[in-house]
Each structure stands twice: as C-alpha cells, then as structure tokens.
Chains A and B, each alone.
Chain A
Amino acid sequence: MPSREAYVRPTAPIIPLLAKELREITAGRALWTMLLLVCPLVGYSFVQAVSLYSASSAAALQSPVLARSLSPLDGILVPTFGSFYVAVTLLFPFVAIRVLGQEKESGALRLLVQLPYRTSTLIAAKLCAVLAAWVMVSIPALSALFVWAILGGHLAAPETLNLLFGHLLYGLLAGAIGLFAAVISDNSATAAIIALAVTIGSWVLDFAFAGRSGLSAWLAELSLTQTLRPFEQGLLSAGLVLGIAAVIGGLIAMTIVWLPPGTPVRAKIIRSVSSVLVIAAGLGVATQIRASVDLSEDRRNSFSRADERLLATLRRPLVIRVNLAAEDPRYIDLRRNVLAKLERVMPDVTIVLASERPNVADPSDDYGQIEYVYDDRTDVSRSTSPREILPLLYALAGVQPPTSSVGEDYPGYPLVISADAALLWFFGGLPVLIALAWRRIRGAPPDKGSLVHQGDKP
C-alpha cells in the first residue's frame, strides 16, 4: 500500500477540481435538455426577426431617411437574444442548481468539503462550471449571429460584444441565484422553486411597477429584466456593471457562507447579513456612478459629437425641474432623448421630478412644464426634443450652438433577405450535433484515461 507522509500538503491542484466540475455539469441531462430547447426557440426568433427586418428594409431601400432607422441591434440582435434571455431566466437556474444540488443530494458534498480546498475555491470552480455551461447554451444564439453575417447582415462589433457581455452578466446572475438556492435547500426541487420564485418574481416586479415613481420605481429597478435594457440599447454603464457584479459577488459570498455543513445556522445567518450589507453598499455605490460608454453604432444614447464637446464645457450646475409624473410618456421621452444624454455628458446635472399625477378635476397650467436653471438664469419649455432643448441650454449658458458635423449620420443597414433556410440549422442540424455531442460525452470513458491528471504526480 502507498506511503502517506509524502502527500500531506496544505493545498490541492485546481485543475482536477475544475475538470471534475466540468464533467459533472456536462454529464447531467439539464444542460443538454436546455441546449436542445434553446435551438428552436432562438432559431424561430431569429427567422422571425429577419423576416420583419427584411419587410422594413424593402420600404427603406428607396428612402435613406427610413434606412437610418434600421439597426441590426434593434432588428435582429435584441429579438434573437431576447428568446435566449427567456430561456436563461426559466431554464438556466436548473443547470446551475445541478452543479451543487447533485452533490448535496448524493452526499458527495460531505466528501467535497473535506478536500484540501478553501470553500471559496470550491464555489469558484462551480462558478467556472456555470460559466462554461452558459457558453454552451449560448451556442444557438451565437450561431444566429454567424448565420446573419453569412446572409450579408451587418454586425457592429462594439454593440454586439456589449450585448453579449450583458447577457453573460445576466447568465452569471441567474447562475449565482441557482447556486445560492441550491446551497440553502435540502433538495434540487426546493432549490428550483426558490430560483424560479426570484426570477419570475422579478418579472412581476417589472410589470407591476414599471413607469411608476418613488418606492415603486425603486422596486422596479430591482427587476432582473432591468439589467439587460441598457446593454440592449448599446450602453455600457459602469454603475450597472458594478451593481450586477456586487449582486453576483454577494450571492457567491452567501453560497460560500452556507456551504460548510459544520457551521451552525446562527453563524451562517450572521455572516449572510454581512454579505447582504456589502451587496447593499455595492448597489448604493453603483447608483452613484454615472460613467458610461455609448457603444451603439447609431449613437442613440448620445448627442452629436459637437454638442457633446460643447456641453462638456458647461461646468456650472444645471438644475432641471420636470413637472411631469414619472409614468407620463412625455417624461419617458424626455428622459430617453435628453435627460439621460445630458447626465452622461455634463459634469453637474440635477433633475428634480415632480412626481405627482395631474389633478384631472383641477388641471394646472404648470403640469408639463420643464424648468431649466443654469448659472442663475432660468427658462421654461414643454418640449421633449433635443432640437429645442439644446439651443435653450446654450442660450442659458451664453454660448453659441455648434455647427452641425457632416458625415455623422447613421446610414442604417437595410437588408432584404429570407432566413427561412436557417430553420433547417436550428431545428435540424444544430440539435443533431448537440445530440451527438451529448451521446459522445455520455458514452463510456476512454480506456486510456490516466488515473492521475498530467502534471499532478508528486
């Protein structure tokens, strides 16, 4: 029998642990079932999106003005990845739960926690497995991008990568929810109920409180759905990324807290409270960070470059008092077309929202007015268009409006094409390839498989 003394080491190699986690997640049915379900879901969405885009393009080919409104980000990428988002929300937690739930149910967790790894290392390896699983289930959506490119469609790298990054963060968020649900549950069924309660519950939050003000607006902001919207608009927001990272980190921290079976529940609860406070602090900091980059090719989140340069020189505080209710469509327009852009480019902007709804019985003339205060000068407008508001601001600041730049206009990318043949790929070719890969992985392990990993010999 082997001698033991030589092997007593405080730490263990990470590669076998990662390999084990990857084997575990690919050995289960959950991942492959989800992958097979995502194929037709994404495929159908993609073909429908191309069909609608093509119909719009047919009219736009004769009109450059119409063509400018045709962006593949809105027309193709967002709807295609929208179905992927639904699949990730509803199915991916099951995949993530399996990463931990299987070991809890089989009792293998009691072996795992005795191995010479830190608990954080164990959970980090599981998060890597979740990441790998997300990459696998995104294959149908990624293949849709290739099909679009093959069909001659336009893809702008920055906005496409930004959208992918948003979905990656969302996938990790769903995975972290699944891991935490698994660690606090006795079995996978309970974990699934908890995870779905969170994901579907956040949809309800979004539907119920969207467009409202005050606490309702704050609750709606907590919805998971909100995490993807800026990415879908081509915006990379540092605050949002930090906020999502804080929530993922907090959930992972709580998973680490709850994993060791030998820790008393009371201690776990106390440590969890600390994690929740850290998450709250992270979210608080995230809300204060305004830095963002507009990665959309049509610069939908920005004023023209000349306007941005000039606005950035207006260093004094700008106070905007909006006499509109938060759910008023005019405020939503103003927010999207002007306020959000001003906040991104000007150093000191304060927006005061009069959130009360107008009294129908006693309508006030003030409702709908937007007051701009800059450097002790004041002006009032009811417009929600930057064409009227920017000259107003320049007048308040006493500067000349910039001359409009030439060649900055987004050309648009109309494309009349049919993607019906791609259905063969999404409903036939890709599922068959996935089934073959599943069968190969589920097959007997290779006879020549080494009993020890390369490089791990003492």
Chain B
Amino acid sequence: MSTVNNRSSPDRSAPLLGVRNLTKRYGSDGTAIDSVTFSAVAGEILGIIGPNGAGKTTLLEAVAGLLPVNSGDVFWRGEPLHADRRRDVLFYLPDGVRPYQDQSAQQVVAFVGSVFRRSKEDITSTIEALGLQPVLRKRVHALSKGYARRLMLTIGLLAPHDLLLMDEPFDGFDLRQTRDVMDLLRHQTAGGRTLILSIHQLPDAERVCDRFILLSAGQVRGSGGLAELRAQAGLRNGCLEDIFLALT
C-alpha cells in the first residue's frame, strides 16, 4: 500500500472544490464548525481528520448541501455553488446508513445503478470490486456491519459524480478489508475522481490520503500534505498522530 509520502502529488493549480468560512451553529449547543476554509483539487484524496465530535460529519453534510449553514460559501471550479446544485457535481455517502432495510442488497444496488443509468457490466464490476456478491440476496437489515458498509460504498462508486464525499468509509472493515478498499479508492482517483474522506482513524488516513484537513472542535487546526503538516507542527519525522496531537 502506498502512503502519502511516495505518491505523485495531484495538480493543485485548479481547485475543484473551494470551501470558505463555512460556519454551522446548533442553537444553544454552540458552534459545530467555525469558519472552515479549505479546497480540494482534482484527482486527490483529501482527508478530513479529527476525533469524534470534531465536526467532520457536519462539515461534509454542509458541503453536500444537506445541512443549512449559518454562513460561508462553497465554490466549484472557482464559481459559487448554491446548495441546491451541489448534488449535480458531488455525491455524499453518509455514515451509519442502511438504506431500504426491507429490500435486498441486489434491489438497492439495481435501483441506484438504474437511477444513474449504469450498465449491467458497470454494476457487476462494482459489486465484484467490493466483494458484495455473497450477500446480494440478503435483505439490507440482515447484512453485517462490514457488508452494509460495502453496500454503501457500492452506491457511492455507482454515482457518476467527479467528487465523492465519504463519511468514515473504513468503519466496520478489518485491516485487510480496509487496505483493499483503500486500493479501490485510489484506483478511483486514478480515473479522475476526487475523494474527500472523513476519517477518525489517523493511521488509515495517513495510508490513503494525499492531503489532510485537521479538524478539532469545529475549527481547522492544520492543512496540507504530511510534509507541510510536519512543518506546521515543528516535527521532523512525526506520524499523523503526533502531528495531530501537536496541532490540536
């Protein structure tokens, strides 16, 4: 498995997605994300890194237009992107969702494939890539956590969008499965797709992501590649965990 340090860097000249000063407050509970600014360039895997409660899911849902925000803007290739139009260019895969639990995995996959007009070959190859074949006839509520996650990833990969936002895509996988899925995601970016992943397991993030947004208490505490983050943290050889602890 390749790491961030030995991969060729994506073209950072033209941000695909820009997020500027995004803020979301939940009533008296306080600020979930506070003036978050970052950008994602085409073909990269950008990791939103942070502990539980850092605001990762809120940030992804706000970017996807599924959550009203108090302030801030989202840009697509430099142009403002209204919340209503975000589904045209990006697809968000939420965490902890078992869609249509009384239907079989096959029916759910067929529905999504048909909606996105994917060919039978495309659907079949995606199913095979994620190893979903053994449970296709099972109802979604009967799937194990790992297979439910694979089903969600299948849905995400069938979406034709240039940008995928994935909330905790490796949750529920063991080490080998996690690495397989990482390879699969990396293969997606090789095809031109951009991924923004919310990950709370820092070793996983370090393995798969090109760049990182370190999020803590709703605020960006650092961003960039591993080398840049080491510089920001003043650590020469620290791993992502060390950097995160130093910057947050």
Contact = CB atoms under 8 A, between A and B. Distances in A.
B61 to A, nearest CB: 8
Interface in B79-102: 83-84, 87-88, 91-94, 96-102
A108 B99 contact: yes
A120 to B, nearest CB: 13
A318 to B, nearest CB: 55
Nearest to B65: A262
A445 B106 contact: yes
Interface string B180-215: 000010011001110000000000000000000000
Contacts of B160: 4-5, 7-8
A407 B159 CA distance: 70
Interface in B129-179: 129, 137, 155, 157, 159-162
Contacts of A9: 117
Contacts of A116: 87-88, 115-116
- Most B CB contacts (10 A, CB to CB) among A7, A9, A117, A263 go to A7
Contact of B110 (A5, A10, A453): A453
A62 B110 CA distance: 66
A124 interface: no
Contacts of A111: 93-94, 97, 99, 155
Contacts of B187: 1
A182 B161 CA distance: 30
A261 B118 CA distance: 27
Interface string A103-126: 100111011011111000000000
Interface stretch (B8-16, B30-38, B119-127, B229-237): B119-127
Contacts of B88: 10, 116
A388 B118 CA distance: 75
A291 to B, nearest CB: 41
A115 B99 contact: no
Contact of A452 (B61, B100, B114, B129): B114
Contact of B120 (A102, A262, A265, A451): A451
Contacts of B93: 111
A449 B97 contact: no
A16 B110 CA distance: 9
Nearest to A23: B103
Interface string A84-104: 000000000000000000110
B117 A451 contact: no
B110 A451 contact: yes
A113 B157 contact: no
Contact of A24 (B66, B94, B97, B103): B103
A456 interface: yes
A444 interface: yes
B137 A447 contact: yes
Contacts of B111: 16-17, 19-20
Contacts of A19: 111
Nearest to B121: A2
B217 to A, nearest CB: 24
A452 B127 CA distance: 13
Nearest to B94: A110
B98 to A, nearest CB: 6
- Which range holds the interface residue count of chain B? 35 or more
Contacts of B104: 444-445
A387 interface: no
A1 B129 contact: yes
B103 A27 contact: yes
Given A8-B160, A111-B99, A111-B155, A23 B107 contact: yes
Nearest to A457: B119
- Most A CB contacts (10 A, CB to CB) among B91, B99, B191 go to B99
Interface in A340-360: none
Nearest to A444: B137
Contacts of A214: none
Contacts of B99: 103, 106-108, 111
Nearest to A19: B111
A208 interface: no
Given A262-B66, A262-B67, A1 B188 contact: yes
Interface string A417-458: 000000000000000000000000000110101111100111
A363 interface: no
A5 B116 CA distance: 11
- Most B CB contacts (10 A, CB to CB) among A4, A20, A115, A456 go to A4
B54 interface: no
A255 B225 CA distance: 45
Given A2-B122, A9-B117, A117-B115, 12 more contacts: A1-B188, A2-B126, A4-B191, A5-B160, A110-B61, A111-B99, A111-B155, A115-B87, A115-B115, A261-B66, A264-B68, A451-B106
Interface of A: 1-5, 7-10, 12-13, 15-17, 19-20, 23-24, 27-28, 102-103, 106-108, 110-111, 113-117, 260-265, 444-445, 447, 449-453, 456-458
24 contacts: A1-B157, A2-B118, A2-B122, A3-B191, A4-B193, A9-B117, A12-B116, A20-B103, A24-B102, A28-B102, A103-B99, A107-B94, A107-B96, A110-B66, A110-B92, A110-B97, A114-B64, A115-B87, A260-B84, A262-B66, A447-B137, A451-B110, A451-B120, A452-B119
